[in-house]
C-alpha cells in the first residue's frame, strides 16, 4: 500500500454515542454507559483457515492487475438499500467484489494499489468495518453496532480468512480523496466511494473495468463449477419439494409454490438467485411472471423457473413446465415435445469452438419447423427464420451465460459474448419456449393460454458439454413418471 492511501486514522470522538441514529433511544445514563464498556469476553479467533476460494480469488486479482497496470482499482461491495423507513433489503454483495475477494461484507471495498513501476503488479487491500468499539458505545448504541446486527470478523480474522490485508473502511473515503494517480472504480454499488472519486474518474474508463470483470467471469474455474453444481443440485431438490405440494398448491395459489421453493433456497443456500417464476395456466405465457398470485388448477400447466443461489453467490437457472395433475393433455404434450426437441437441438450445438449463436439458431429452427407444420405460420421455414416470424410465440433468446449473476457476463463486449465462441468452462442456459398468449387471435382457441419453457444449465467441456441439471427429467413421459414417483414420496 502506498502512503497515499494510509492517512491518519480519523479522529475518534471521546464522547460516547448516546443515541441511536433514529433517535428512539435517548437518555442513556452515565452508569449504564460505563457498565456496557466492560465484562465482555475476548472472542478473537486465531489461526482461521482461508476460505475455499482464496486461491482462485488471488488468481482473479492477478489477472485484473495485469490488465490495468499502474492504475488504482476500486471495487465496492455496496451498501444496504432502504426498503421502508429504517428497514432494509437483505444485503447481497456486488458480484465483482465477491468474485475478487470471496467476501460478502456490506460496505466492504477492495482496492488494488499499483506498486512502484519497477516491481509492477498491485497490492490488494480489503477495507471493512471492524469489530465494534465497546469503549465509545458504538457496540450497542449505533445502528450498525454488533449488538444490533451481529458479530463481524475482526480485521485480523478477515485477513486470515480472505488472504488479503484488511483495513478499516472508515479510513477509505478520506484516503481516496487525497490520493493521486490514475484510478478506476466499479460504479453502481457505493455512492460514498464514487463521490470521493468524482473528480478522478471518467465514466468511460470505469466502464472498461466493469466490462473486463464481466468478460473475466465467462470461463469458470474448478471452484466455480463445483458451486454451480451445488446450486443446481439444491434447485433440483426445490423442484421436488414443489411437486410434492402441488395438490396443496391447487387449494391455495402460485404463492404457495413460491414459498415452497424459497424454503429450500434459504435452508440450503443463501437465497434465490432471482425472483422465482411460478406461472400456472395462462400466466406461463408471461415471460417473467413474478407476481405469483394466481390460482393453480388441475388440467393446467405450471411453468416453474427458479434457482437456488449458493452461500458463495452462484445461482442455478432451471425451468420445468409440469402438468399440475401429473399428466399432459394431448395438445400440451404436442407443444411440450416440440420445445423439448428444440432444446435437444440447442444442447447438441453446445461444444467448444462452436459460435455462441449456434445453439440459439438450432433451437429456433426446430420451433419454426413446428409452427409451420401446425399451420400457425406460412412457410417455408427459411423465410420464417429470415423474417423472425416465429418470434411472435418465442420472443426471448434461447439462453445466456450463467454464474454469480443469473444473466452472467451481461456487459461483456459483443465479440466476447453474443458474437463469440464457446470455450471449455463456460456455463450457459439452453431454454427454448413457446408461448401462446390468451388473447392471440392468430392461433386456434385451444392453443391460447399455453406456455412451455424447458431450461437447463449446460457446462461446455473439453469434448462437448455436460448438463448440470440432468437430475431433473425433461422428456414428457419421463416428467410424468418422475412426478408420480415424487408425489408418492
With contacts defined by CB under 5 A, name the span among 156-164, 186-194, 242-250, 311-319 that binds Mn ion: 311-319
| Kind and range of the H or E run holding 174 | helix 172-178
Q: Which of residues 416-445 bind ligand GLY (CB under 6 A)?
A: 431
Cell numbers of 140, please? 450497542
Task: Give, as one character, the DSSP assignment of residue 27.
Answer: -
Q: Which of 305, 344, 369, 456 binds ligand GLY (CB under 6 A)?
A: 305
Q: Which of residues 441-470 bind Mn ion (CB under 5 A)?
A: 455
Dihedral (CA of 393, 453, 278, 227) sign: negative
With contacts defined by CB under 5 A, name the span among 75-83, 312-320, 335-343, 360-368 that binds Mn ion: 312-320
Phi, psi of 465 (to 5 degrees): -155, 165
Q: Are 433 and 396 in contact (CB under 8 A)?
A: yes
Cβ closest to Mn ion, residue 323 vs residue 433 = 433
| Kind and range of the H or E run holding 194 | helix 191-196
Q: Is residue 315 close enough to count as binding Mn ion by CB under 5 A?
A: no
Q: What's the CA gap between 303 and 261, in Å, rounded?
A: 13
Q: What's the CA gap between 400 and 107, in Å, rounded?
A: 30
Q: Which of 206, 305, 408, 457 binds Mn ion (CB under 5 A)?
A: 305
Comparing every residue's Cβ against ligand GLY, the nearest one is 305
Q: Is residue 455 close enough to count as binding ligand GLY by CB under 6 A?
A: yes
With contacts defined by CB under 5 A, name the span among 2-10, 373-381, 424-432, 460-468 that binds Mn ion: 424-432
The contacts of residue 404 (CB under 8 Å, 6+ apart) are 95, 98, 99, 217, 313, 314, 315
Torsion of CA 68, 202, 101, 427, to 10 degrees: -80
With contacts defined by CB under 5 A, name the span among 186-194, 216-224, 304-312, 466-474 that binds Mn ion: 304-312
Cβ closest to Mn ion, residue 158 vs residue 279 = 279
Which one of ligand GLY, Mn ion, none interacts with residue 223, CB within 5 to 8 A by kind? none
Q: Is residue 309 close enough to count as binding ligand GLY by CB under 6 A?
A: no
Q: Which of 194, 317, 369, 456 binds Mn ion (CB under 5 A)?
A: 317
Q: Which of 309, 317, 405, 456 binds ligand GLY (CB under 6 A)?
A: 317
Helices in 349-417 by DSSP H: which ranges? 358-373, 381-387
Q: Which of 285, 429, 437, 476 binds Mn ion (CB under 5 A)?
A: 429
State the minimum distance, in angstroms, from the CB of residue 118 to Mn ion. 47
The phi-psi region of residue 180 (left if phi > 0; otherwise alpha if psi is between -120 and 50; otherwise beta) is beta
With contacts defined by CB under 5 A, name the span among 223-231, 232-240, 300-308, 324-332 that binds Mn ion: 300-308
Instruction: Name the strands in the sheet holding 456-461, side by side, starting at the edge strand that comes first in the sequence.
Output: 427-430, 456-461, 464-467
**Quick one: which of 157, 128, 458, 158 has its CA closest to 316?**
458
Q: What's the CA gap between 479 and 105, in Å, rounded?
A: 41
Number of residues that bind Mn ion (CB under 5 A): 4
State the minimum distance, in angstroms, from the CB of residue 408 to ligand GLY. 11
Q: Which of 91, 223, 262, 274 binds ligand GLY (CB under 6 A)?
A: 274
Which one of ligand GLY, Mn ion, none interacts with residue 274, CB within 5 to 8 A by kind? ligand GLY
Q: Where along the sequence are the contacts to Mn ion (CB under 5 A)?
A: 305, 317, 429, 455
Q: Where along the sequence are the contacts to ligand GLY (CB under 6 A)?
A: 274, 305, 317, 400, 406, 431, 455
Amino acid at each position: 500500500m502506498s502512503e497515499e492511501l494510509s492517512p491518519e486514522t480519523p479522529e475518534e470522538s471521546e464522547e460516547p454515542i448516546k443515541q441511536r441514529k433514529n433517535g428512539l433511544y435517548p437518555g442513556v445514563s452515565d452508569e449504564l454507559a460505563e457498565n456496557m464498556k466492560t465484562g465482555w469476553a475476548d472472542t478473537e479467533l486465531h489461526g482461521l483457515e482461508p476460505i475455499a476460494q482464496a486461491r482462485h480469488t488471488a488468481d482473479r486479482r492477478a489477472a485484473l492487475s495485469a490488465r490495468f497496470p499502474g492504475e488504482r482499482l476500486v471495487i465496492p461491495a455496496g451498501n444496504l438499500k432502504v426498503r421502508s423507513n429504517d428497514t432494509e433489503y437483505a444485503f447481497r454483495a456486488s458480484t465483482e467484489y465477491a468474485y475478487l475477494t470471496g467476501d460478502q461484507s456490506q460496505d466492504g471495498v477492495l482496492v488494488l494499489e499499483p506498486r512502484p513501476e519497477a516491481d509492477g503488479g498491485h497490492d490488494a487491500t480489503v477495507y471493512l468495518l471492524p469489530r465494534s468499539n465497546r469503549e465509545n458505545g458504538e457496540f450497542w448504541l449505533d445502528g450498525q453496532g454488533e449488538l444490533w446486527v451481529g458479530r463481524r470478523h475482526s480485521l485480523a480474522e478477515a485477513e486470515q480468512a480472505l488472504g488479503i490485508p484488511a483495513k478499516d473502511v472508515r479510513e477509505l473515503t478520506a484516503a481516496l480523496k487525497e490520493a493521486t494517480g490514475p484510478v478506476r472504480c466499479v460504479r453502481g454499488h457505493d455512492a460514498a466511494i464514487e463521490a470521493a472519486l468524482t473528480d478522478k474518474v471518467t465514466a468511460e474508463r470505469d466502464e472498461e473495468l466493469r466490462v473486463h470483470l464481466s468478460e473475466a467471469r465467462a470461463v469458470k474455474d474448478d471452484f466455480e463449477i463445483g458451486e454451480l453444481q451445488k446450486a443446481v443440485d439444491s434447485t433440483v431438490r426445490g423442484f421436488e419439494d414443489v411437486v410434492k405440494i402441488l395438490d396443496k398448491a391447487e387449494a391455495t395459489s402460485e404463492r404457495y409454490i413460491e414459498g415452497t421453493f424459497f424454503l429450500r433456497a434459504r435452508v440450503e443456500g443463501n437465497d434465490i438467485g432471482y425472483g422465482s417464476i411460478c406461472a400456472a395456466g395462462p400466466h406461463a405465457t408471461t415471460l417473467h411472471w413474478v407476481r405469483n398470485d394466481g390460482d393453480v388448477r388441475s388440467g393446467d400447466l405450471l411453468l416453474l423457473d427458479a434457482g437456488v443461489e449458493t452461500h458463495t453467490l452462484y445461482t442455478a437457472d432451471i425451468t420445468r413446465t409440469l402438468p399440475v395433475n401429473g399428466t399432459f393433455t394431448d395438445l400440451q404434450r404436442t407443444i411440450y415435445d416440440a420445445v423439448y426437441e428444440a432444446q435437444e437441438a440447442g444442447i447438441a450445438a453446445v461444444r467448444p469452438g462452436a459460435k455462441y449463436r449456434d445453439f440459439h439458431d438450432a433451437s429456433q429452427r426446430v420451433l419454426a419447423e413446428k409452427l409451420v407444420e401446425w399451420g400457425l405460420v406460412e412457410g417455408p421455414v427459411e423465410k420464417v427464420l429470415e423474417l423472425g416470424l416465429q418470434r411472435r410465440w418465442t420472443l426471448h433468446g434461447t439462453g445466456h451465460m450463467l454464474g454469480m449473476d443469473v444473466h452472467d457476463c451481461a456487459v461483456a463486449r459483443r465479440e466476447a459474448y453474443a458474437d463469440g465462441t464457446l470455450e471449455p468452462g463456460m456455463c450457459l442456459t439452453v431454454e427454448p419456449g413457446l408461448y401462446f398468449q390468451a388473447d392471440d387471435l392468430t392461433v386456434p382457441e385451444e392453443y391460447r393460454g399455453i406456455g412451455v419453457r424447458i431450461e437447463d444449465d449446460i457446462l461446455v467441456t473439453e469434448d462437448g458439454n455436460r448438463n448440470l441439471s440432468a437430475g431433473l427429467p425433461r422428456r414428457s413421459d419421463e416428467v410424468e413418471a418422475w412426478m408420480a414417483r415424487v408425489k408418492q414420496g
